[in-house]
Structures are given as C-alpha cells and as structure tokens.
Amino acid sequence: MAKRFVISGGGTGGHIFPAISIAQAIQQELPEAEFYFVGALGKMEMEKVPAAGFPILGLPIRGFNRSQPLKNLGLPWALLKSVWKANRFLANWKPDAAIGVGGFASGALGIAAIQRQIPLFLQEQNAFAGKTNSWLGKFAVRIFVAHPNMDRFFPAPKIERAGNPVRSVFETEGPPRHTCLSHFGLESNKPTLLITGGSLGAGAINAAVATPLQTWTQKGYQVIWQTGERQFDTYKHLNARGSIWISAFIPDMQIAYSAADVVLSRAGAMAIAELLAVKKPAILVPLPSAAEDHQTHNAKSLADQGAAIHLKESLLNDKLNETVEQLLSNESARDAIREKLSALHQAGSAQKIAQSILKHLFQ
C-alpha cells in the first residue's frame, strides 16, 4: 500500500512554499506516495496548494488578532473545532506520517496527530521557534531546523539542521547579470540595489528609501524597487528610466536577484532562505510586529555569522543611506558576505528532509 503523508503549512508563503517543496521532494523519492494538505480557511494556502497539484482540507482555525482583541473570544472554540476536524480526517484517511511546517493549521494538525499516535515531523524555518512548535517538538519524531542553537526550543537529540527549502528555481544558476539588468532597463556596469518588502510591500522601508533615492543615483548606483501592491501608486512617480525601476510586484525574483549586488529586505524565513541560496549580500530590516519578534532573531542569526547586515526599523531614517553606500561601494565587503553565505547555505534542503522522513518510516 502506498505511503500517505498529511502536511500542514500556511498563512504566508514562508510556510506554504517549504511545505510544497517537501511534498515534491518526497514524491521524487517515492513516486507512489499520496499527499493531503491541511490549511486555514480563507488563507492563501487554500489557493496555492491546489495550484501545485495537491488536495487540501480547510480548518476554521485563525490567529490571534492584536488590533481587535474582542475578536479573540472565539479562538478557543475555533481551535477545538479545528482539532476535532483534523482528528476526523486522520481517522478516515490514515496517513503514515504528519508533517508540520508552521502556520495556524499546523498546530491543530500536530495535536490531532499526537492524539492518533501518527509520527509527527516538524520543520522550523525561523531562528526563534514559536510557542506551538516548541510544544509540539516534545512529541515530534524529528525536527528540521535552519539555524544554530535551536536546542533552546527543542530536545537536542531530535534536531536535524537541514536548512530551509526554497523553490527549485533558486537552486539553479540564474541568467547572466547583464541580461537581467537589461530586463529592467538598467546598465550592466553600475552597482545595483534590489529593494523588496514582499508582495504586500514594507511601508517603513519604502518611506525610508524615498529620501536618499536621488542621492544614490547621482553617485552612480541604480535601483530595482518592489513597492508592494498597496503602495505602488505612492512611489511610482519616482521611476527614472535607466536608473530606477519601480514595480508593485516582481514575478520572477530569480532575475531580480541575479541583477542585484545588494538586497534590502525584510527578514522573514523565506526571504533569508532565498538570499542564502542565491548568495546575495543583504541589509535585513526585521518587521518589529512579527510574532515572537522572529524576524529580529532571523536577522541577528545571519548578522552574527557575518552573512548579512542587521538594521533595525527604528534606525532606518538615520542609518539607511550610510549602510547602503558602505555595502554598494565596497566590493570586498560584499565578497566577504558572499563567502559566509556560501558556507551557511545547505543546498537540497527539501531532499534532505524527505530522505530523513522516509528513512524513519522504512527503518
């Protein structure tokens, strides 16, 4: 009988894409394997997972609402209902293993898997594990992590440092730099800064960038700037042919990374995993409101190893211009960071995780 795997990861692309990558890696190792995903109703996984070719079960689970506390009164009921629904599904579908990759639904699936005595595997992308994963880790068979010193959160014998899975396109060499710069209408001989706050954009980064933008271009730098959908109209007038390329969204990030010398980015787990894979020096500006302040821990983890520059959001206005110029004007500093990134990057993370899971199931 074919092995069955139930996988939960969602809420953001930082959970969804690693979950899909792990499923695809298991599929490569075990073509007859069957998969079912579990997600949160109304979240992006309900579209992204079926688009990748996998069925998904939606749970009524939701996260804590910090801005409207009264909406949290129904959270305990939503959790109980989600665990019950996940439990019913596991009883009927009878998977051989459950894999939790983070997100609201991952906790409900993990609890149900523990109750059903189904082997539970976890993948923690961040340098600071959330409370749910920390608790589930006590019962997990194996916990795959991307950062050092994760025995602060999980039992050391269960930890396997496998890196963060990224989309396969980032594991391959991108097009030549001059071709990528030409795609954006930029010159091939100028230092280039890529600014990205994700598909939604990062308001604080955008606001801070607008001030020194003209200074950078006057000094011979050029900019690729993804503003996010919500703020594109605010900044699109700053577009300057041949030196500043501005868009709401960049569909092919491999081309953008290949064109850039330095990246200005938030410090989500997925962003960092991609930066490691493409080996791009970055200035990381963590989102202060991220759960458990995990983006700050992510940025510090890389910065402490000499593989990135950590810049607090509160220092953006005072330090951004100076920090960008120091890195864009100093090729040896960029080379040193690239060397650290090369040493830290673990290629084939999804394959390592898949092989470890299958080894446990077949031993």
296 with 244, same domain: the answer is yes
In terms of domains, do 123 and 183 share one?
no
Asked whether residue 138 falls in the same domain as residue 229, the answer is: no
pLDDT of residue 308: 97
C-beta atoms surrounding 69 within 10 Å: 9
- Strands laid side by side in the 159-161 sheet: 56-59, 34-40, 4-8, 97-100, 120-124, 142-145, 159-161
pLDDT for position 251: 87
pLDDT at position 1 is 76
Q: Are residues 140 and 213 in the same domain?
A: no
pLDDT at 68: 64
- Rg of the chain over Cα atoms, rounded to whole angstroms, equals 21
Contact 137, 153 (CB under 8 A): yes
Same domain for 353 and 242, yes or no, is: no
Residues 160 and 175 in one domain: no
Query: What is the predicted pLDDT for the residue at 160?
Result: 97
- Residue 253: domain span: 170-344
pLDDT at 214: 93
Burial 270-305 (b: 16+ CB within 10 A, else e): bbbbbbbbbbbbbbbbbbeebeeebbbbbbbbbbee
Determine the pLDDT at residue 184. Answer: 96
Same domain, 224 and 320: yes
Residues 36 and 179 in one domain: no
For residues 212 and 110, membership in a common domain is answered with no
The Cα–Cα gap between 199 and 67 comes to: 22
Task: Kindly give the confidence (pLDDT) of every residue in the chain, 363 residues in length, as a single tens digit, with 9 standing for 90 and above.
Answer: 789 999 998 777 678 889 999 999 999 999 999 999 999 998 889 999 999 999 999 999 876 556 666 665 667 788 899 999 999 999 999 999 999 998 888 999 999 999 999 999 999 999 899 888 999 999 999 999 998 999 999 999 999 999 999 888 888 888 999 999 999 999 999 999 999 987 667 899 999 999 999 999 999 999 999 998 889 999 999 999 999 999 999 989 999 999 999 999 999 988 999 999 999 999 999 999 887 888 999 999 999 999 999 999 999 999 999 999 999 999 999 999 999 999 999 889 999 999 999 999 987
Q: Do 305 and 353 have their domain in common? A: no
Residues 153, 176, single domain; the answer is: no
Overall number of domains in the chain: 2
Q: What is the CATH number of the domain that holds 178?
A: 3.40.50.2000
Same-domain status, 330 and 208: yes
